[in-house]
């Protein structure tokens, strides 16, 4: 690897001290640190899992692998701790690493029967109420067939990578991150339909917002990776599919997913 791009969460590296340390170290070893307009061999993400999620979506066009450097709380994606930065960079320089391909999701929102901009997510797409403690009513379709209707706090559509995020907090299953499936986990469903559903990555999921209690007009939010938000109302829907884009994560540790999972949990 020769060309590196650094993405920094300036709330966690306010004076860019760590960013400069990394840039200087790479350049002292004959590497280039550049912006994202040219060829990039590796993206270094300084912050935490949230920073890496946003970078993975915004820089997916680079088709370069990502290495997360954790400057905050422990995460599953940002593998490298602050104290191990130089040793991690040495491994990258010496090509002592592997990469894991992670699937992503696309969500296309249809508002007033007009298709809107497509958004992507590496972790999940979450449907929640526009207001706190709001119970929402929606129908679930799989491959064009109405599967069921829900009265719930919301729904999490997750990738295997996101299975250890909101999906896990909602009682959903943990899935090996290299798997190729879509997970659907309802949030506090007010019925027996409270179990998660695991679908093939080839399946198409549609969540349609219906009328609420007493035929009330509803307003909900589709949230992509906890960041991008799209407002949906009664009659609107979101179509979720496996994205053509994917994210490559650099792995330096020889521990497998389950060994890391045991440590994190």
Please name every residue paired with 33 in a beta bridge, in sequence order, or none if there are none.
4
Which CB contacts under 8 angstroms, 24+ apart, belong to 234-237?
Answer: 234/209, 234/210, 235/112, 235/113, 235/208, 235/209, 236/109, 236/110, 236/111, 236/112, 236/208, 236/209, 237/109, 237/110, 237/206, 237/207, 237/208, 237/209
**What CA–CA distance (Å, rounded) separates 220 from 84?**
42
Q: Which of 222, 189, 200 is closest to 142 using CA atoms?
A: 200
**What CA–CA distance (Å, rounded) separates 32 from 41?**
10
CB 169 within 8 A of CB 190: no
CB 147 within 8 A of CB 141: yes
Just list the catalytic residues: 49
Beta 181-187 vs 197-200: how paired, if at all? antiparallel
């Amino acid at each position: 690897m020769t060309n590196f791009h650094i993405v920094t969460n300036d709330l966690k590296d306010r004076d860019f001290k760590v960013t400069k340390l990394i840039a200087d170290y790479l350049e002292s070893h004959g590497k280039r640190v550049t912006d994202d307009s040219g060829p990039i061999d590796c993206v270094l993400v300084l912050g935490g899992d949230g920073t890496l999620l946003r970078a993975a979506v915004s820089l997916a066009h680079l088709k370069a692998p990502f290495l997360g450097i954790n400057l905050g709380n422990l995460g599953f994606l940002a593998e490298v701790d602050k104290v191990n930065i130089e040793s991690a960079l040495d491994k990258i320089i010496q090509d002592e690493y592997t990469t894991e391909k992670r699937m992503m999701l696309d969500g296309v929102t249809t508002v007033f029967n007009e298709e809107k901009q497509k958004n992507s997510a590496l972790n999940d797409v979450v449907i929640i109420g526009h207001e706190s403690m709001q119970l929402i009513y929606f129908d679930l379709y799989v491959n064009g067939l109405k599967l069921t209707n829900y009265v719930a706090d919301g729904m999490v559509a997750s990738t295997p990578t996101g299975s250890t995020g909101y999906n896990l907090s909602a009682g959903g299953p943990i899935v090996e991150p290299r798997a190729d499936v879509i997970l659907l986990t309802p949030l506090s469903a007010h019925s027996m339909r409270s179990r998660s559903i695991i679908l093939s990555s080839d399946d198409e999921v549609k969540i349609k917002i219906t009328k609420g209690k007493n035929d009330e007009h509803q307003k909900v939010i589709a949230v992509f990776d906890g960041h991008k938000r799209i407002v949906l109302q009664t009659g609107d829907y979101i179509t979720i599919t496996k994205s053509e884009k994917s994210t490559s994560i650099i792995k330096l540790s020889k521990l497998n997913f389950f060994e890391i999972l045991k440590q994190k949990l």
